[in-house]
A and B are shown apart, each in its own frame.
Chain A
Amino acid sequence: MQERLKRLDVILGIHPESPYQVMEKALKRAPKDIISDLIDSGLKGRGGAGFLTGLKWKFAAAADGDEKFVVCNADEGEPGTFKDREILTLVPKKVLAGMGICAYVIGARKGYIYLRGEYKYLVPHLEREIAEFHKNCFKLELDFNIEIFLGSGAYVCGEETALLNSMEGFRGEPRNKPPFPTNDGYLGKPTVVNNVETLVSAQVVSRIGVEEFKKLGIQDSHGSKLFSVSGDTPRPGIYDLEFGLSLDEFVREFGDGDTKAVQVGGASGFCVPRKKFQSTTIGFPGGLTGDSLPTGGSMMIFNSSRSMYNVLRNYLDFFEEESCGQCTPCRIGCQQLKVGIEAVKRGDKDPEYLQQLLKLTDTMKITAKCGLGQSVANSFSSIVDNFREEMIY
């Protein structure tokens, strides 16, 4: 098949300048220059939430405290996402160099990689890489030490404050924000929590510079992005693509010719039906026409043989189990949404009951404590609105 979409080689590629040379170069610059470069580059977090990375580093650098931390969030749990595992497998040096640059910028001496328990098999590989990284730090006179902290199978720990609670020995329940981790993070100290791919991208900004970085992508969404493609596709896998592609282009390349819908951003993202492929672009919402959807990179493709009711039920099953149970809207909301669509499907409730359930997701969106409960509405409303008949018959 013809490849229409341009493949980049920014994240996973091998470059003449090694990641540790990039780090060495960065360490010769003033931290404030690195921060202003990052802000100018417009780099946004690659975990899905899309906060400006430069600002995060700036806040942590400015925060008071002689003890600070860098945490690499490798608790990749969003259904349909597997790019962080691929990055840690193929280019761990880029992640570690990104952490090293961050440590230098904010003044941290200690870093952690919070690795989900499902990826425990990566520990020996990562430990070898970390040992080599420490040697490089020693050479560069960077006083920075990294340890791996293993998770134990809890999706919500990917939320940064839940992650910090988990590390501190508490249940992995999200905290109220503010205070933000950049001021009050691990053990109450200023902490930068960045996704694996974000750290690589921060290292990319150091390597190629702001101008080159901004040439990639579109307005408000610069740089490249790793996409995890799965579902009904002849070519499942990881692809390094530019932000700003339309879903239509994407489906032409990755669909099986019978694509009915694409779930952008995993179970907590949006389901886009065929009729909206052309008007939807992938990137962070900005001044574009049509819809622009953010994504942590999860792209799940469904063809016409799939029941969208089953898809939604599977998501709700996931959320019901993974909700930490701390706040009522999410704990009870996820359960009731599942029970609700089952009742409509069975015919025990009228189709109008779906409107009640949509109202419930609106409530969850504004009252749930963290992104988990707030984003259940995304997939629920996009599936129920676009595939209403499948929910009923």
Chain B
Amino acid sequence: MTKTDMMVKELVDKYGSKRESLLPILQGVYDLEHFVSDEAMVSIARNLDLSSADVYGKSTFYSFLDTIPRGKFVIRVCKTIVCDMHDKNQIVDTLENILKIKVGETTLNRKFSLLYTNCLGWCHKGPAMLINDDVYTDLTPETIREIITDYKNRE
């Protein structure tokens, strides 16, 4: 049994092998591996008795289930109107400068990915971003530097 099969099996044991378990299983894979690999999709399909195309269709539907490798910390900056009005560009520029990557890219050490996302529901405290599941609001270039320094020190 490959490492991926083991991981998928554990998730299937936890969430069940019904079709309704598909999204929680995919989310579980993403949390562990920071993307959903082809191998994982094939393994899930086998376990849930679905076609792998079906699993692929499900994964690629959701913007939070990337099918290309992402960094350990995925930064998603809100680009919807109110955050955009509140200097989102300045935030993105700062992040690009600190991380030395462009939006859509991942740092060489696979620690950070920088992505855009749609409305995060923090319009009254924009600009806002997510780092994995954690929310950061009222961002300024200064707070961005502090936050990223903190994450750089995390394992």
Contact = CB atoms under 8 A, between A and B. Distances in A.
Interface of A: 76-82, 84-85, 116-121, 149-155, 166-173, 187, 228-232, 236-238, 263, 267, 300, 302, 306, 310-311, 314-315, 317-318, 321-322, 324
A81 B81 contact: no
A229 B124 contact: yes
Main secondary structure of the interface of A (DSSP, over half): mixed
Contact of A119 (B22, B121, B125): B121
B126 A79 contact: no
Contact of A228 (B23, B79, B123, B135): B123
Contacts of B81: 79-80, 231, 263, 267, 300, 311, 314-315, 318
Contact of B22 (A81, A169, A228): A169
Interface stretch (B61-69, B94-102, B140-148): B61-69
B57 A171 contact: yes
B106 to A, nearest CB: 18
A229 B22 CA distance: 36
A311 B126 CA distance: 16
B19 interface: yes
A232 B62 contact: no
A152 B64 contact: yes
B84 interface: yes
Nearest to A173: B61
B124 A152 contact: no
Contacts of A306: 85
B61 to A, nearest CB: 4
Contacts of B103: none
A199 B63 CA distance: 28
B52 interface: no
A314 B85 CA distance: 10
Contacts of A78: 119
Nearest 8 pairs of A and B residues by beta carbon: A236-B124, A169-B22, A153-B64, A230-B123, A152-B62, A169-B19, A153-B63, A152-B64
